Structure formats: structure tokens, C-alpha cells
Amino acid sequence: MRSDIMKKGSTRAAHRSLFRALGVTDREFDRPFIGIVNSFNEIVPGHIHLRELCENVKAGVRSAGGVPFEFPSIAVCDGITMNHAGMNYSLPSRENIADSIEIMATAHPFDGLVFITSCDKVIPGMIMAAARLNIPSIFISGGPMLAGNYNGKRIGLSDTFEAVGSHASGKITDEELEDIINNTCPTCGSCSGMYTANTMNCLLEALGLALPGNGTVPAVMAQRRRLAKEAGFRIVELVNENVKARDILTREAIINAFRLDMALGGSTNSVLHLLAISREAGCPIDIKEVDKLSKTTPQLCKLSPASSIYIEDLNQVGGISAVLKELSKLGVLNLSCKTVDGTLEDRVKNAKGPDGVVIKTVDNPYGKTGGLAVLFGNLAEEGAVVKQGAVSPDMLYHKGPARVFDSEEEAIEAILGKKIKDGDVVVIRYEGPKGGPGMREMLSPTSALAGMGQDGTVALITDGRFSGATRGASIGHVSPEAFEGGLIAYVKEGDLIEIDILNNKLNLLVSDEEIQKRKKEGVKAPNKNLTAFQKRYQKFVSNASSGAYMKTEV
């Protein structure tokens, strides 16, 4: 066993004495040592209940003959960090999580790992670590939050962010805003729509690294606790079978995950994360390939924020296995891919069929192409990403004057100050991986536009990114970013911008001569007072089109 290098033989006598201090017995030294990475903390709603879940995992490990050792991982709440300096640290936390787990699981060579995860950057960070370590691994998420209820209507976190815009425009009172706040998040768990956390937890099933139900069983259900026990039991079997992370996390599995992502209409952030994961798994995928996958994958689900359907509804009609089963009818999935409990084919053969509402059939989908689209043009030579399944049909093609802002704060002030007019294209730059640094999410401005009733008339473009809760013509991940000298840095107030989502185009309608003139004149990036950590991140992070991964050389 891998753990023998820290517990067996006379040269490891001192090591064993330290394990004795932990209470490890003679018979346990002959059993698999299982590391349990627990991202519990008391400030993130998706993680507040993970202590209990961890105890269930440990029970499963022990019952299967393993010895569990829990250690922590940080977790940032994107909702709480939204629209202030804290968001500069959200995406960078992904790399910190991957690095810290690599450190812990190499310094203490466990035979297998259980990853207890829940929210946005924790999930991909943990997957990246699993790929690096390449030891038997299994994931169990904290599960989604139940939807809230306000005046008989179910609501999610995106509704609260949009209520800020409604309040600013005078559509709702102070008391109504407070009522919405009090009813949006009724339970623990990752936020209730197909936002980034739930998207990634669902994709874990397609990747094969988690058991069926991982993405959709609500956090408060007893089934979630049973799933955690089963994950603990199964990791010991994976160790005994010598099934390693990269045996499961193959290029074909990642392509399956992209296909599921398109069918679900998942968060745009998932593109960023899957690209980075593919690099860690040794099979880098190009963003142009993502665009091809979208064009050949129908959108079968349309969940909040694109509709009033929530993750709990998807769970009730068969969950991810049911979506994969319907998608497999087109022959676009590799069903022979290994999972932590067999193959993908094993999962889909006994899954439910589509209900026709939450899960559409391949013959009558919500959209003939995927819920995400990749745009290219002079404004995004290396790509930009939009959640096309959550865009109003009237905004799939839009041409309008640019309203240019060098930070999210400036844009928010203009939006809430009613300075943005119907037809405008809001451009927020210097918020990319390097320019931010940290590529902040822009849920606050997109939600403010929606709350003010302008999500159907105003587009937003940024080299930053969006929350999975964002809807409307919101185009992010523009690459190259402004800080790298991308064309977005040279856009001027009033320039016409053309957005053609159906034809995957994003262009600044300015002559080549004028563009060259502007580039010769140059631009000056905003001066930001960066911390030592931010300076290191800015130096080593790649651009969004390659997943904003940390380069080992510059």
C-alpha cells in the first residue's frame, strides 16, 4: 500500500510512534489509510453541514476496513464575496486548494482520498488535485440547497441579486426587499439553481468521480448522508482494486462532462474549470473544441436562473443519470468510460426516461445546440463564453454603442444610477485573470440590469467572468484580456459592438486603421494596489481561454 512508506519497517519506528499518539492500533496499521479532505467552514452555507457528512464518510470507511484521517480545505463563498475586493480571491483559491491538497497527500501518503466538497472553486480545485496525485479518489458533495419561497413563488439566490436592481429602480420597497432576503436561502447547501457549484457537482457524475445523485440530491435529505457513507465504503474498494483518479479522469470522460454541461445549460465558469482540469489530467482541450461540442449537443434542461425549475426538480425526475441516458441516444457519449462504481453505461441503462418538462427529449429539446456558446471575433480572438440558453431570443443578435468601464464598481454605479440606456453594450475591462487580478464574477451588474428590466435590452461584455446565477446577454472570459493588450482595452465610449450569438461572433465595428491608430497611442491600465499574493498570481496565471491555470514558467 502507498501508506506503507510512512508506517512499515524499522526505519519508520518514529513515524509509528506519532501514529500511536493519534490512537492508531496494531491492526489498523495493516489497513488502508484514507485521507478525507473536508472543506467545512462556518461562513459558507454550502459547507456549514459538512462536519456531519464527514462523519458519515468516516463510518463508511471504517465499515469497509479502512482507517480515515480528516484534514481541511479552505472554501470561499462566491455569493458573499460578490462586488467587493474579496472576489479577487475566489478564482485564485482554486489553485490554493489544489496545491494544499497536493502538499497534504504527498507529505502524508494516503492510500486513497475522499473529497468532501460543495461550492464553486472548491470542486475544480479538488479535481485538479486528484488528477495531480493520481491515487484512488472519490467525491461527495454537500448537495444543493432547496429553493426558497416568496409570495407563493419559488426563488433562488439570483432573485435576491436581481431584487437589488428592482429596489434601486423603485419597483419594490425596503420591506419587500427584506422579505425576499429572508426567504431566498431556506436550508444549507449550494445555491438552488444551476449555478456554478451545482453545475460542477453534476459534472462530477459525468466525469465518473462521484456516485449517482452527487449533483442533485438535496443537502437536507437523508439520502445525502447515505451517499456519503457509500462514498466512504467505495473508496476502500477502489484502493483494493487499484483504480486511480486518472483511470477515470480521461479525455473521453472530460468530453462527456462537456456534453452534459451543454445539455444542462450550466454555468459559464464550468468551461474555465474543465479546461484547467483537462491540463492537470494530461489531456489539454482547446476552447475551439468546446465550441464544436456545443454545436452538436442539444440543451435538454433549462434550470434556474434560466427558468423557475430547480435542482431539486431535476433530482425528482431521475437526476443526472436520466439526462445522460437521454443524451446517449444521440451516440455522443462514451459510455465505456470508467466511473467509481463501474462504467457510465452501467449508470444509464437503468435510469429513468425524460419527463418532457424538466428533462426534454432529444427530439424536442429546449435548444438544438448546447446551453453554452463560445464566441470569436476581433474583440475575442481567443474566445469568449456566453450562457446562450439564458439569453432572451431578442438578444441573440444585438448591435449597440459601447459604455466603457475600467472596473465593476464603476459599471454598478452607472447601472444603479440609471445611466445605462436600452440598446447599450456595457463593457467592463481590466477584470480578467491578470487584470483583476483574479477574474471577478459580475453577478451584481448583470443582476442589477435584470432587476431594472434591462436584461432584454442591454448586453454586457467583460474580460472577467459571471456567476452561474447570471442570465441575459452576458458575455465573459473575453480573451485576450485588456491587461494583455486585447482589443477590449482599446474600445471607446460610443463604439458600435456587434454580438451574434447564433453565429458565434463578437466584433468591434471600428476600422482596422482606427484600431491600429489606437494601439499606437496606447492605453494605461488602472493602477491597483496589489498584495504580495496578488502579484504572484498575476505573474503566473494564464488567460481565460486556457482555463486560467497557473503556469510553472513565465
Name the DSSP class of 137: E
Cβ-contact 495, 402 below 8 angstroms: yes
Give the Cα separation of 479 and 548 in Å (integer): 11
Buried b (16+ CB within 10 A) or exposed e, 423-441: ebbbbbbbbbbbbbbbbbb
- For CA atoms 9, 15, 17, 20, the dihedral sign is negative
Cβ-contact 285, 390 below 8 angstroms: no
Name the DSSP class of 243: -
In 265-387, at which residue ranges do the beta strands (DSSP E only) sit? Answer: 338-339, 342-343, 373-377, 380-386
Interacting residues of 103 by C-beta distance below 8 A, sequence separation 6+:
none
Buried b (16+ CB within 10 A) or exposed e, 455-491: bebbbbbbbbbbbbbbbbbbbbbbbbbbbbebbbbbb
Give the Cα separation of 401 and 363 in Å (integer): 39
Nearest one of 513, 463, 452, 510 to 488, comparing CA atoms: 463
Question: Under DSSP, is residue 534 helix (H, G, I), strand (E, B) or coil?
Answer: helix
Nearest one of 312, 324, 280 to 547, comparing CA atoms: 280
What is the pairing mode between strands 380-386 and 373-377?
antiparallel
**Residue 467 known to be catalytic:** yes
Catalytic residue among 467, 474, 479, 542: 467
- Residues with active-site annotation: 467
